[in-house]
């Protein structure tokens, strides 16, 4: 079983050119406070482009309040 380390956060990487979110990685927030920016392969464009950090879920798993 994997160790639970609370200092590392799961972040998604979004392509600057195509907007696709293909890669996920973990980041130590204590050492690296600024956003990650990595050059990775984009399968849509079939070339290497810059990927920047974003939140993992982008609001998909948020619980919305019920109406009424």
Residues 6+ apart with CB under 8 A from 1: none
pLDDT for residue 58:
53
pLDDT surpasses 80 at 66: no
Model confidence pLDDT, tens digit, residues 13-62: 999 888 888 898 888 888 888 999 999 999 999 999 999 998 766 555 45
Domain parsing of the chain, residue ranges: 8-54
> Is the pTM higher than 0.85?
no
Phi/psi of residue 14, nearest 5 degrees: -110, 135
Please give the angle made by the CA atoms of 47, 9 and 4, to the nearest 5 degrees: 125
CATH architecture of 8-54: Single Sheet (2.20)
Confidence class of residue 9 from pLDDT cuts 50, 70 and 90? Answer: confident
Confidence bin at 2 (pLDDT 50/70/90): low
State the pLDDT at residue 19: 86
Distance between CA atoms of residues 55 and 35, nearest Å: 10
């Amino acid at each position: 079983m994997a160790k639970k380390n609370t200092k590392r956060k799961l972040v998604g990487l979004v392509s600057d050119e195509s907007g696709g979110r293909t890669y996920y990685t973990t980041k130590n927030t204590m050492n690296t406070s600024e956003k990650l920016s990595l050059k990775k392969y984009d399968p849509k464009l079939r070339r290497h482009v810059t990927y920047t950090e974003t939140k993992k879920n982008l609001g998909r798993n948020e619980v919305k309040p019920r109406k009424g």
